[in-house]
Amino acid sequence: MGSLDGRKSLSRLSIPGTHNSGALHEPFCGTSKCQDLTISFQLAIGVRYLDIRCRHIDNAFAIYHGPISQHLTFAGVVTTCIDFLADNPTECVVMSVNEESVPSRNTRTFDETFASYVAEHPERWELGTITPTLDEAKGKIVLLRRFPADSCLKGIDASRWPVNATFTIDGPARLRVQDQYIVPDNLAKLAAIRSLYDEATSANDEILYLNYTSGYRRGLLGFPNIRLVSDFINPAVSQVFNESAHGRFGVTVMDFADKATCALIIATNNANN
């Protein structure tokens, strides 16, 4: 990001991201693991959007995918991001934070617990309600808030997020999102991804596009199988960027992100800078 025009809004960039960024564990193959790389390695290969799912337990956050513990704490995720930003001050991390699974044994609300994490390193958080410029975001974690907040906590408001849809959220920051994660047909999912890319390349620069290439299909005995989608979609998405070296594509939110695909997405920023 250090080579890009710092006056540009993050909404004008093409950004690699990961879906369920902390989901590295599963009880059965294909059911809940979404990444092969730890968050530290994801940041190292160019990922700048993290999708963090937190279960609220004992007034603290643990990382879960549905009911499955990922053996990771939110404190650990934040520390990893802060350490990365300290070593790479020209970068920023957009962090989507969402409540996952069933809360247990809490004496405060989800947003109050989140605020307690922010209070530990307030200088590292960008909590503005509009999408910041790169200069405003450098060295910080930009909050994309998928949970309701009654406190003074703000961030980009994505709390009105419908299930399994392509949609728009209007507010101080306007969001356009494709998150059709139930995938009976891989070709239909790819068409939805391509459609949002086409829209992003020609639409208002101030709209933040989030294109979730992730999803699952029903596999053996009806269990969800993430790999049945990613094994088809990920090469197809790489091909999109092999064919399209120019344009603004928004945030691509992937299962099983890899260095080569991240590099292709990042390269479109250099072409447009």
**pLDDT tens for the 273 residues of the chain, in order:** 989 989 999 999 999 999 999 999 998 888 999 999 999 999 999 999 999 999 999 999 999 999 999 999 999 999 999 999 999 999 999 999 999 999 999 999 999 999 999 999 999 999 999 999 999 999 999 999 999 998 666 899 999 999 999 999 999 999 999 999 999 999 999 999 999 999 999 887 899 999 999 999 987 777 889 999 999 999 999 999 999 878 899 999 999 999 999 999 999 998 665
* pLDDT confidence of residue 246: 82
The pair of three-digit structure tokens given for residue 72, joined into one six-digit string: 């990771």
pTM (predicted TM-score) = 0.96
* pLDDT confidence of residue 205: 85
CA distance 238 to 267: 12
* pLDDT confidence of residue 171: 92
CA distance 130 to 144: 10
CA distance 11 to 230: 25
* pLDDT confidence of residue 272: 63
The pair of three-digit structure tokens given for residue 261, joined into one six-digit string: 């695909």
* pLDDT confidence of residue 152: 65
Q: Is 167 helix (H, G, I), strand (E, B) or coil?
A: strand
Residue pair 154/114 in contact (Cβ under 8 Å)? The answer is no
CATH superfamily of 10-272: Phosphatidylinositol (PI) phosphodiesterase (3.20.20.190)
CA distance 28 to 13: 37
Beta-carbon-side half-sphere exposure of residue 134 (alpha carbons within 13 Å): 20
* pLDDT confidence of residue 223: 81
Please give the C-alpha separations between residue 235 and each of 81, 169, 241, in angstroms, as whole numbers.
28, 29, 10
Dihedral angle, C-alpha 122, 57, 67, 50, nearest 10 °? 0
